Structures are given as structure tokens and as C-alpha cells.
Structure 1
Amino acid sequence: MIEILKSNLIISCQAPSDSPLHDPKIIAAIAKACINQGAKGLRIDSPSHIQAVKQLLPDIPVIGLWKQMRLNSSVYITPRFADAVAVSEAGADIIAIDATQRSRPDGEKLAEIITQIKEKLGKPVMADIDTIENAIAAEKAGADFIGTTLYGYTETTQNLIPPSFEFIEKLVNTIHKPIICEGGVKTPQEVIKALDLGCFSVVVGTAITGIDLLAQKFVHEIEIR
């Protein structure tokens, strides 16, 4: 199933928690619309949404995660092994986790979580990283995929704007595991460029499914004119 993702598009189907779209059935419908148009995989947040998507699309690879925003930690993408268990039980085929070296809510170590996911849950791991150093550490810890998800979104990289094709090229030439480009991809041309640089696949989110943010952007431009 995972080989289907190679050289193809993965669409992240998520919505803000205060959006009317933040409903399992609606997320599943958005996901089906994306698959109907040729996307080969999905990235879905939270067990309930993953479960709804897998019920509707059982044969489509899902990268699952669980954003936990209230744990007094800057690490929020599947920060604990317990979160990975819930994501796995919901039906995710790949489990995405924050793979930076920042302190995790329960003091768990990255390598321990990756090992437990692979050995106890039998699922491959997508390591969401922000720097080359963290990518190397995640690869050594056993991650199966390295994602550029957190480039530009951590304390270390907050002044950088994704996608950085220079960063991606360096990553591809440094890491031996498949690289998944994610974060800030806005156009089909950027998808092609990332694939041409050697990325395994590309995740696009807001540019396709971020209805709330896209509408907000248009309205903001009108209001400030």
C-alpha cells in the first residue's frame, strides 16, 4: 500500500478545531473528494477523523497523527507513545510524530517512541523534522520516512519559509530514508520540483483543503485595501 505513495500526491485533510468542517464525516468526505481527483494518500489528524476516513476509504494509505495542544510542550504532533497507539488503533497505515529534539510532555525519548511504534504497533514512522540535524537523528532512531513538516514552524526555524528547495536538496543528499516534502507547498509546480529533487512524495494541505484559511486570506485583502 505504501508504495502507492511513491512519486505521488498526498493531501492533508484537516480543519481548525473551531471550524464547522472539523467533523469526522466532513473530513472523510473531503478526503474522498481528493482521492476521486487522483490523490494517492492522505494525512489525517486525530483518531476519530482517521477512523472515519478509513471506513470510507479502506484501501487508501493514511498518514495518521494526533495534535495535542494542551500538554505544556511545544511538541504537539503525536507527542507520546500513547497518542501513537490511539492513531494506530484508528487505522493509520503510517504514524507521523514530531521528531525534533525538543522535550516531550512525558519525558519520553524520540528513539524509544519510534522503537515502540515499530515493534509494538507494527507501523512505519514518518518523522516530522525541522533541521538536517534532527533528520539525521530521526533516521538513526529508526524512522522510515523523513518529512519536512516542521521546517519553518519551530523555535529554531521560525524565521525560515517553507518549502525550501535548498533544504530539501540537502536533505535528499544526506538522508538515506525516503523524504516526504510537506509544509508551505502552494502550487503544482512546487510539487513537481520537490519530486524532481528526489522526494518520495509530497503532502499538500492548506493550498487544497484549507477552506477556512483561504477564505480568511481573501477577506483580509479586501479589508485592508
Structure 2
Amino acid sequence: MTGTLMAIRDGLVVSCQAPDGHPLRRTPVIALLAECAERGGAVGLRVNHPDDVRAVKDVVRLPVIGLTKVVRQEGRALITPEYGLAEQLVAAGADMVAVEATEEVEALYGDPRALVTRIREGLGVQVMADVSTLEEGLRAWDAGADVVSSTLSGYTPASPGAGGEPDLDLVARLASRGVRTVAEGRLATTGHVTTAFAAGAWAVVVGGAVTDPLAITRRLAAATPLGTRR
């Protein structure tokens, strides 16, 4: 085990992303968020799209987990479902590539396990498999994924809703089967982070709770007297 995998072990990875229409959806701003994360003690970054990966690599020394979200007219975006997208991320400087390994993406793009293998062998980088269930995680791990992330639990037809809380039970179940597991998805507090590591997480990824002032403001404003009357 070398490279990004060891660099992120036992640490915090910050997801520096902003969707279209968000005030922060500018590549230079994403790079600034990444710089803040590095100064704050993050051990790695998770970044969407080659342009943002390239900009982030110009300003930080941390390893970057690259992904490309494919937006659909119906349903949520899918995460790096094709080899060509992974090629572009690696060319931009991504140190690891995150790919979706769910039943949902398999129905549209084919077996994600083959994609995991092809990226590792063809591009020579480590792969993070984003999953939503134990079964998906075990299949991705058996296919050679270097680490499996709980990113999509609660967001697919195969996984139940989590009521706003991170699915740390999935993290624990994957870890108990010997899978290197990243806790990702709805982690927002120090309690979530410590509990994730106690459950066996290799690393944790936090996104909006760190990098989305719009969502943070909305959440806090909703707790005010004025907000409760809206």
C-alpha cells in the first residue's frame, strides 16, 4: 500500500465541490477551498471535474481524489461511470480516481467492476469505489478497488434513506469484512468523525459541512425564531 491510500489513512479528506448554480461554482474558488482545507489539516481532497483537479493541484500538495459527475435529466448525477472520464482526470493530475460501483450505474454503463480493473491496470492509479450497500462494496473490493466509500448510501434505490445521518453501520459492516472503508456521506460533526473511525474507517470524507457556506447558513438560519416562522 503506497501513495494516496497511505497518505489519507486515519485522516480527514475534504470534498471541495460546488454544483452548477451555486455561488461558489468557479474553478478558482474551488482551488481556494482546497487551500483552506490543506491549511486546516486535511490529508487529501476530493474534487469534481478535470478543470478543478488541475487548478487544485496547482495550489496544494495534498493528494487529490478526482471524479467527474455525469448529470442526468432524471435522477442524481453518476460518478465517473466511464473509462474516458477517468483518463481525463488522471491527465489533469488526479492521484486516485473515484468511480461509482452501484447497481444503478451497472444498469446504465455495464459492470463497474470491469471499470475498476481497467483504471488500475490501464492508468496506474488507485481507485476509490463509491457504493451504497454492503453487497456493492464487497463486489468492488473483490474486483480490486483500493478503498471502498459509503458515499452513496441513502441515495440509490438499493439503499434505504438514512434520515440525514451518515450510514456508519455500513462502514462498520464493510470494515468487519476486511474492506478498507472510507466513511462519506452526511458526516457533519466531530462526533460523526470519531464514531466513523471507531467503526473501522480507513479515512473520512466531509464535504458540505466544511465547504458549503450556503447550506450552513440555511441550516443555522432555520433554527432562528424568524426561520421557524417561515
- TM-score, normalized by length of structure 2? 0.90
State the SS of the aligned residue for 2:70: coil
Distance 1:29-1:75 versus aligned 2 partners, 3 A rule: closer
- TM-score, normalized by length of structure 1? 0.91
- 1:159 corresponds to which residue? 161
1:101-116 maps to which residues of 2 (within 5 A)? 101-104=103-106, 107-116=109-118
Q: Does 1:79 align with 2:81?
A: yes
For residues 103 and 96 of structure 1, the distance between their equivalents in structure 2, rounded to whole angstroms, comes to 13
- 1:67 corresponds to which residue? 69
Q: CA RMSD in A?
A: 1.9
CA deviation digits over 1:32-63, x for unaligned, max 9? Answer: 01110111111111111111000111x31111
- 1:49 corresponds to which residue? 52
- 1:203 corresponds to which residue? 205
- 1:28 corresponds to which residue? 31
1:98-177 maps to which residues of 2 (within 5 A)? 98-104=100-106, 107-161=109-163, 162-174=165-177, 176-177=178-179
Distance 1:99-1:22 versus aligned 2 partners, 3 A rule: same
For residues 166 and 74 of structure 2, the distance between their equivalents in structure 1, rounded to whole angstroms, comes to 28
CA deviation digits over 1:126-179, x for unaligned, max 9? Answer: 0001100101111111111000000111112242244133222111112x3311
**Any stretches of 5+ residues in structure 2 without a counterpart?**
none
**Any stretches of 5+ residues in structure 1 without a counterpart?**
none
CA deviation digits over 1:178-223, x for unaligned, max 9? Answer: 1100011111121111112221100011111112222233344544
* More divergent stretch after superposition (194-203 vs 74-83): 74-83
Distance 1:29-1:105 versus aligned 2 partners, 3 A rule: farther
Q: Is the 8 A contact 2:81 2:112 kept in 1?
A: no
- 1:4 corresponds to which residue? 7
Q: How many residues align?
A: 223
State the SS of the aligned residue for 2:45: strand
